[in-house]
């Protein structure tokens, strides 16, 4: 695996608050690297630093082992950016939008025309190329946003939550397109707080929270770290903290918490303790409404690392 971009000890402060803390990681050539973290984790800040949109306090960036300087134009030409907020001209056609963004990267004439056609076809908007953007659905705008970021054929495509607020069909289309870009040799840095997307497209994952990297690896590696545990969630009619605290006395129970009449229990998988957990709750006259048991997934990985769920 060859390193395309290396980030070393990156730090960023906003109004005395450290939002990126000593972040170090590498992006390998031709991989989809997902930056996964809850809202406010520091994903956009990190990405905005990489694209040159934000300054940083300290740290170093290397592209193909070459140290990047502030406003490095050579590097900027080799990356593509799909921002979280749509960056489109609503009154202009899809084609004019993509042409405008691709021309910023120095494409001209026939090459520019061909790349625009290819990008629009790639995101499934070839037949709507002449339509004005304001007539597009949210999902179509998101797809166009991607076409604008990748038409010039960047080595590294940086995408900041590109599927926020869109319908499942457009999401599927986008995720499939991203995998195809990777298969064609593009490297993708993808931020999201949707673990389902990470499950679907990531080659590697970095879990980030409060500006810090908590874990990294393939989804299989991350899940293996918590494979011996499972999460039992019990919906009750009226939760009682005292009963939940008592669950700690049962063999295998590692964590128990109560929130909105839902008891969440992290327990060892190889200890058969469900009947005793239920028995304990019943002994406090707690009525059970529903039980679900989940083996390791990225949500449980996150829960294990932070004690919170990604959706909190």
Binding site for ligand ATP (CB under 6 A): 14-15, 19, 37, 39-45, 161, 193
> Cβ closer to ligand ATP: 39 or 292?
39
* Whether 55 contacts 70, CB under 8 Å: yes
Q: Nearest approach, Cβ of 10 to ligand ATP (angstroms)?
A: 12
Judged by DSSP in three states, 179 sits in helix
Q: Nearest approach, Cβ of 23 to ligand ATP (angstroms)?
A: 11
Judged by DSSP in three states, 173 sits in helix
How far, CA to CA in Å, does 267 sit from each of 24, 190, 310? Answer: 32, 32, 19
Pairing mode, if any, of strands 204-209 and 32-36?
parallel
Helices (H) and strands (E) in the chain, counts: 11, 14
> Cβ closer to ligand ATP: 3 or 39?
39
> Cβ closer to ligand ATP: 54 or 227?
54
Q: Nearest approach, Cβ of 58 to ligand ATP (angstroms)?
A: 17
Spell out where 15-128 has E strands: 17-28, 32-36, 58-63, 66-67, 79-82
Q: Nearest approach, Cβ of 76 to ligand ATP (angstroms)?
A: 20
* Whether 261 contacts 228, CB under 8 Å: no
Q: Whose CA is closest to 22, among 11, 36, 7, 6?
A: 11
> Cβ closer to ligand ATP: 24 or 39?
39
> Cβ closer to ligand ATP: 210 or 264?
210
Q: Nearest approach, Cβ of 155 to ligand ATP (angstroms)?
A: 23
How far, CA to CA in Å, does 42 sit from each of 139, 150, 162? Answer: 25, 24, 16
Q: Could you report how far apart the first and last alpha carbons of the chain are, in Å?
A: 35
Measured distance CA(159)–CA(53) in Å, rounded: 14
Q: Nearest approach, Cβ of 24 to ligand ATP (angstroms)?
A: 17
> Cβ closer to ligand ATP: 24 or 292?
24
> Cβ closer to ligand ATP: 14 or 248?
14
Q: Nearest approach, Cβ of 235 to ligand ATP (angstroms)?
A: 29
């Amino acid at each position: 695996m060859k390193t395309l971009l290396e980030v070393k000890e990156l730090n960023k402060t906003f109004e005395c608050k450290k939002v990126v803390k000593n972040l170090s990681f590498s992006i390998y050539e031709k991989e989809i690297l997902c930056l996964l973290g809850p809202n406010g984790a520091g994903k956009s800040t990190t990405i905005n630093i990489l694209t040159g949109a934000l300054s940083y306090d300290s740290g170093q960036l290397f592209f193909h082992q070459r140290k990047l300087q502030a406003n490095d134009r050579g590097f900027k030409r080799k990356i593509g950016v799909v921002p979280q907020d749509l960056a489109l001209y609503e009154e202009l056609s899809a084609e004019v939008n993509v042409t405008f963004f691709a021309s910023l990267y120095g494409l001209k004439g026939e090459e520019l025309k061909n790349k625009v056609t290819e990008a629009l076809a790639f995101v499934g908007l070839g037949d709507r190329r002449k339509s004005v953007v304001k007539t597009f659905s949210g999902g179509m705008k998101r797809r166009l946003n991607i076409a604008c970021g990748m038409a010039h054929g960047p080595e590294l495509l940086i995408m900041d939550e590109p599927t926020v607020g869109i319908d499942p069909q457009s999401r599927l289309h986008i995720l499939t397109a991203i995998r195809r870009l990777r298969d064609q040799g593009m490297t993708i840095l993808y931020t999201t707080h949707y673990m389902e997307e990470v499950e679907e497209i990531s080659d590697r994952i970095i879990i980030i929270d409060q500006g810090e990297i908590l874990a990294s690896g393939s989804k299989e590696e991350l899940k293996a770290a918590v494979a011996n545990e499972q999460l039992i969630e019990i919906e009750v009619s009226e939760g009682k903290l005292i009963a939940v605290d008592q669950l700690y006395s049962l063999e295998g129970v590692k964590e128990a918490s109560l929130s909105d009449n839902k008891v969440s229990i992290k327990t060892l998988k190889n200890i058969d303790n469900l009947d005793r957990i239920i028995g304990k709750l019943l002994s406090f006259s707690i009525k059970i409404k529903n039980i679900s048991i989940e083996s390791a997934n990225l949500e449980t990985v996150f829960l294990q690392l932070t004690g919170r769920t990604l959706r909190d």
